[in-house]
C-alpha cells in the first residue's frame, strides 16, 4: 500500500500540473520541499485538506488561484538589500554600462519592487537613468501591482536608510520618496523608465539585447534543471559583454553556462558574459 507521504507527493504533482494546464503558472520544477511547505501552509489557512481537494477549487476559483500563486511565489525583499552588492555595482558595473548610448536592463523576479527602485536610485545618482529602460518582471500579479504603485511602509524605508548609505548612497534615502502618515510613495520620476510586466521564467522566452540582468535570490527555489534553463535564457538575452547579477546564495559554479561568463565579483555574484560568447 502506498504510504501517506507518497500519496501526498502524488497529490502535489497533480495540483501543480493543474495550475500549469489551467493558467500557465509553472511551479513543477521548483525545489520540492520548500514549495510543498508553502503549499501546505496556504491550504491550511484556507481550511483545505487533503491536497487533492484544492484541484477543483484551482480550476473554478480564480481568486483562490491568485492567493495560491502569491503563497508559492517568494516575495521577500527590501531596499538596498546586501549593500555591499550595490557598492560593487557602483564601482565595477556602472563604468561598463556608461559605455552604452542606451541601456536595457531586465530585472527578473522583481517581487514587490524594492530592488527595482533601489537600482533606479543608484542609476539616477550615477547619471545614467535618463538613458535606461528597465523591464521589471515577475510571475506574481499581486506583487507586480504593488511594485507599480510604489507605496511602502514608511518604517521599512527608515530601516533601509543605513543600507542605502552603506551601498554608496550619495544623499539621503528620504530624498527619493514622499512620506505621508505611515506610508512612503516613490515619485513618478523614478518610475518613468520602468516597465512592469508578467513573465514566467519557467516557460517564457528571452529578452534580446539586454545589457544588465538582475535575478537575485530567485533561483534558490528552483531545481537544477530549471536553474540551468533560466541561466541559458539569461545568457541568450545578454549582449556580448553584458552583466548578470545573482543573489548572495546563488552562483554560476557547476552550471551549464559557467564557461560563458567571467566573474566581475565572485563575492557579490556579479558576472560578465564573455565577449564573443
First to last CA, the chain: 53
Strands 261-265 and 270-273, how do they pair? antiparallel
Tell me the per-residue pLDDT of 110-155, one tens digit each, with 9 for 90 and over. Answer: 999 999 999 999 999 999 999 999 999 998 888 899 999 999 999 9
196 φ/ψ sector (left φ>0, alpha ψ -120 to 50, else beta): beta
CB 172 within 8 A of CB 160: no
Residue 210 forms beta bridges with which residues?
Answer: 238
> For residues 174 and 254, which has the higher predicted lDDT (pLDDT)?
174
CA–CA gap between residue 144 and residue 66 (Å, rounded) = 12
What is the model's pLDDT at position 1?
A: 42
As a whole number of Å, the CA-based R_g of the chain is 20
CA–CA gap between residue 179 and residue 4 (Å, rounded) = 52
Tell me the per-residue pLDDT of 158-184, one tens digit each, with 9 for 90 and over. Answer: 999 999 999 999 999 999 999 999 999
User: Predicted confidence band at 69 (pLDDT cuts at 50, 70, 90)?
Assistant: confident
SS3 assignment, position 22: helix
84-112 average pLDDT score: 96
Cross-sheet strand order for the sheet of 238-246: 194-198, 132-138, 103-108, 210-215, 238-246, 270-273, 261-265
Domain 83-273: which CATH class?
alpha beta
Highest mean pLDDT range out of 6-10, 64-68, 121-125, 252-256? 121-125
CA–CA gap between residue 76 and residue 67 (Å, rounded) = 16
- Given a cut of 90, whether residue 249 has pLDDT beyond it is no
- Given a cut of 50, whether residue 188 has pLDDT beyond it is yes
| Domain residue ranges of the chain, discontinuous segments joined by + | 4-72, 83-273
What is the model's pLDDT at position 74?
A: 66
Give residue for cell 521599512: 156
What is the model's pLDDT at position 25?
A: 79
Task: Name residues whose C-beta falls within 8 Å of residue 245's C-beta, 6 or more positions apart in sequence.
Answer: 85, 89, 93, 212, 213, 214, 215, 216, 268, 269, 270, 271
Task: Name residues whose C-beta falls within 8 Å of residue 52's C-beta, 6 or more positions apart in sequence.
Answer: 11, 14, 15
What is the model's pLDDT at position 277?
A: 66
CB 36 within 8 A of CB 68: no
Tell me the per-residue pLDDT of 197-240, one tens digit each, with 9 for 90 and over. Answer: 999 888 888 877 899 999 998 888 888 888 999 999 999 999 99
Amino acid at each position: 500500500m502506498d504510504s501517506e507521504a507518497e500519496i501526498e507527493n502524488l497529490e502535489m504533482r497533480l495540483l501543480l500540473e493543474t495550475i500549469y494546464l489551467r493558467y500557465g503558472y509553472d511551479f513543477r520544477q521548483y525545489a520540492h520541499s520548500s514549495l510543498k511547505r508553502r503549499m501546505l501552509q496556504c491550504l491550511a489557512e484556507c481550511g483545505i485538506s487533503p491536497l487533492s481537494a484544492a484541484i477543483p477549487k484551482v480550476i473554478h476559483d480564480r481568486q483562490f488561484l491568485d492567493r495560491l500563486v502569491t503563497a508559492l511565489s517568494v516575495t521577500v525583499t527590501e531596499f538596498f538589500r546586501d549593500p555591499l552588492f550595490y557598492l560593487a555595482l557602483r564601482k565595477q558595473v556602472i563604468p561598463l554600462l556608461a559605455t552604452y548610448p542606451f541601456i536595457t536592463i531586465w530585472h527578473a523576479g522583481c517581487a514587490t519592487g524594492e530592488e527595482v527602485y533601489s537600482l533606479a536610485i543608484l542609476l539616477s545618482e550615477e547619471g545614467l537613468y535618463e538613458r535606461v529602460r528597465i523591464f521589471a518582471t515577475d510571475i506574481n500579479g499581486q506583487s507586480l501591482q504593488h511594485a507599480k504603485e510604489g507605496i511602502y511602509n514608511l518604517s521599512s524605508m527608515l530601516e533601509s536608510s543605513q543600507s542605502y548609505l552603506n551601498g554608496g548612497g550619495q544623499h539621503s534615502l528620504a530624498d527619493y520618496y514622499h512620506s505621508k502618515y505611515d506610508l512612503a510613495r516613490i515619485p513618478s520620476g523614478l518610475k518613468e523608465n520602468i516597465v512592469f510586466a508578467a513573465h514566467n521564467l519557467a516557460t517564457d522566452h528571452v529578452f534580446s539585447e539586454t545589457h544588465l540582468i538582475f535575478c537575485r535570490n530567485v533561483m534558490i527555489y528552483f531545481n537544477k534543471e530549471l536553474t540551468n534553463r533560466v541561466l541559458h535564457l539569461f545568457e541568450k538575452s545578454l549582449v556580448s559583454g553584458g552583466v548578470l547579477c545573482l543573489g548572495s546564495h546563488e552562483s554560476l559554479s557547476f552550471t551549464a553556462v559557467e564557461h560563458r561568463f567571467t566573474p566581475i565579483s565572485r563575492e557579490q555574484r556579479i558576472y560578465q558574459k564573455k565577449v564573443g560568447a
